[in-house]
A and B are shown apart, each in its own frame.
Chain A
Amino acid sequence: MAEHKRIDEATGTSTVGHEWDGIEELNTPLPRWWLWTFYATIVWGLAYVVLYPAWPMVNRATEGVLGWSSRGDLAKEMAADAKRRAPTMNAIAATALADLPAKPELMQAAVQGGGAAFRVHCVQCHGAGGAGVKNLYPSLTDDDWLWGGDLASIEYTVTHGIRNPDHKDTRTSLMPAFGRDGILDAAQVGDVVSFVRTISRQEKASASSTRGATLFADNCAVCHGAGGEGGRQFGAPKLTDAIWLYGGDRDSLTATVNQPRNGVMPRWNNRLDPVTIKMLSAYVYSLGGGEKGLAPVGEGQGADGQP
């Protein structure tokens, strides 16, 4: 196509010889510094190949003389962050759990750290944000606690778990299977359910509930209390309130009396360090249902000014 090359009159530059519907391309020379920039990128590329992981081999890429790796970078960043968090973690470790709420900044750090641990270890059962799962796992955000909602009780529960057969300090209790094991017959179970639904103001008093009251006093009151107010030393739920872990309707209650669930929770002292358990307790405590136990030292007006 060289025969089509010509000098463009307006610019005095030669054309490259291509032509599309009368449009031609000028053969404008590149500035030479552009060429040097191109050589510089080649030199840069060669240096990069030598210094950094670059060339794919059979199993892995060449390592590069600097020994850099993204995993190494991550490890360094994690170490730096652990170092950054160390003073806070040490302060939390050195502070008694009951004193944490009086130190708002430390408490906030503990809640944050506990939230992170919760999202790894606890959400599988208790749900995101401790919302619980209906009929399976209790909500940790309400004001109703089976084993106690103050900081110390929560920490004990997290540390030792509930109904761990291999751990002697675990929280434990066993509600008999009144129906399945024939302790009460079907009519008696119905009467007890009527009574429970009466004290929780879901049903009006009836002949059945009156019969149930006697059965309740004989069989249930030892754990659940004479008026159904619950007993935390046995993890026996309060039966007079609006919160039902396994359902408060007649069918659910009947099922529970016939064959109780006796839910279990793993202990965490064999998997998590004490500081993490402390932070987890602070987090669960902060979800809205935390109960004041023994008054912590120096408790007063918080940073929010809330009396």
Chain B
Amino acid sequence: MASPEDLSGQPAPLYEARKGVFPKAVNGPFRRFKWAIMAVALAIYYATPWIRWDRGPHAPDQAVLVDLANRRFYMFQIEIWPHEFYYVAGLLIMAGIGLFLVTSAVGRAWCGYACPQTVWTDLFQHVDRLVDGDRNAQVRLANGPWTFEKLSKRTIKYLIYLVIAFWTGGAWIMYFADAPTLTVDFWTGQAAPIAYGTVAVLTATTFILGGFMREQVCIYMCPWPRIQTAMMDEKSLLVTYKDWRGEPRGSVKKAQAHPGAFGDCIDCNQCVAVCPTGIDIREGPQIGCITCALCIDACDGVMAQVGRPRGLIDYCTLDDAASEKAGGAGRPIRKTLLRPRTLLYFGVWSAIGAAMLFSLGQRTRLDLAVQHDRSPLYVQLSDGQIRNNYTLKLRNMETRPRRVAVTVSGLPGAVLWTNAGTRENAAQRIEVALPPDSVKSVKLFIAAPGTGPARQDFTIATRGLDGDPRGDSDTIQFDRPETGQ
């Protein structure tokens, strides 16, 4: 450790201004991959709510719809009711394990390519280049005085920021209501206040986080870099400057003058210039590196120009770094990706997915829940029989009206009727008409002989009368006074 230094002369600053990051444009395979992912991610985000999906006259025709007002979640052929929220929980668990899988195999690939903060920051940085020019022009403009040119360029740039931000916020609300209707309502002032509020908040956050905060979000705000760092191991890929090959740094001229004295790094600083978070990858792995691999593209370009092999900066595991440093070779990429840890994650991830698909295919769309009225538990009828009251909740989760039968078993001599009937015309079975995609609450009266156990289990069942006989049943109690035994 270094010896203590006297710092009394200059106290460290308590607060630090953001150092501007002006990443240079770069081209290469990773940049093209990033373009592709950005195009797909943005297309999915903006276009998904506009896909139509015919579900018949009793349900919305939007392919993906989170209908919070009516508590339904539609995703193409799948409709989720609130009590089936475990499917959403399952999806979230899959997303979590998916991130474990990706992180243990290829490091912070989520951060580098697919995270919305990365995608939108990338988009806004392209706007910077479009309006202000590339890195040098941006630096010059940022440091220069407020001329008319700077003012007009800033105005145009912020307006474009604002349009993108507004479009981003606007697309979000389309997931929560019928998109064409909501668009018309939104522009005619008919939409709900929450819609305008949501758009305003998301416009503001996109404008600020994408336009100004950028890498500060990744470095200071986001917990994910810390969590990912804990999940990576010595076999995870991360963007590595191969210092054993690059050091000591020296220009091409110096290297020609002193062959063998310098490494491959010509200290051209291109890797720093293209970095969207403004770090120097040559300082080693660090929290600010989102592994976007743009420095790999930049370095490979330079190496090609000076006629040296590519990969001075490259994806590399810690294990491979150690073995390459010692003069050995790295493991083949297939072995790096397919190892017990990643295979285990993949196995768990696929098992959850398969189990959810299976249960989605098996679920019945007619559900019965019975509640026994507790006050009174039983009613003494004048002819000596006992009546119990129940509330049936019949869930018709199909988007068509249905007719179902409700029957009772395991309760000898029982007859049932609802509020629409009377005890005089009670029967062993009632029929109920269920409106589409809704819950019908039915008050059910059941009368049975007064002699029998004080508490008796029996079954109430329902089944479809319209082709699909599948249904549901519930076991519940019938209570009698103690003296009836």
Contact = CB atoms under 8 A, between A and B. Distances in A.
B273 to A, nearest CB: 22
Contact of B382 (A13, A32, A243): A243
Contact of B13 (A4, A29, A139, A241): A29
A143 B423 contact: yes
A33 B7 contact: no
Given A34-B220, A242-B381, A129 B373 contact: yes
A141 interface: yes
A142 B7 contact: no
A32 B15 contact: yes
A302 B421 contact: yes
A9 B4 CA distance: 10
A143 B18 contact: no
Q: How large is the interface on A (under 10, 10 to 19, 20 to 34, 35 or more residues)?
A: 35 or more
Nearest to B284: A10
Q: Which of B14, B376, B418, B442 lies at the interface centre, i.e. has the most chain A CB atoms within 10 A of its CB?
A: B376
Given A29-B15, A32-B17, A304-B420, A141 B7 contact: no
Given A2-B8, A127-B375, A292-B422, A34 B15 contact: yes
B375 A129 contact: yes
Contact of A31 (B15, B418, B433, B443): B15
A293 interface: no
Interface centre among B374, B375, B420, B443, by most A CB within 10 Å? Answer: B420
Contacts of A141: 376, 379, 387, 389
A58 B4 CA distance: 57
B379 A304 contact: no
Interface string B445-470: 10000100000000000000000000
B73 interface: no
Contact of B432 (A132, A304, A307): A304
B14 A30 contact: yes
Contacts of B387: 141-142, 288
Interface string A294-307: 00000001111111
A241 B433 contact: no
B68 interface: no
A273 interface: no
A27 B12 contact: yes
A3 interface: yes
Interface in B360-383: 373-376, 379-383
A242 B420 contact: no
B389 A29 contact: no
B149 interface: no
A263 interface: no
B421 A9 contact: no
A29 B376 CA distance: 68
Contact of B442 (A35, A301, A304): A304
Contacts of A31: 15-16, 18, 216, 220
B380 A243 contact: yes
B425 A307 contact: yes
13 contacts: A13-B12, A29-B16, A30-B16, A33-B18, A104-B420, A127-B376, A131-B376, A288-B387, A288-B389, A303-B433, A305-B403, A306-B418, A306-B420
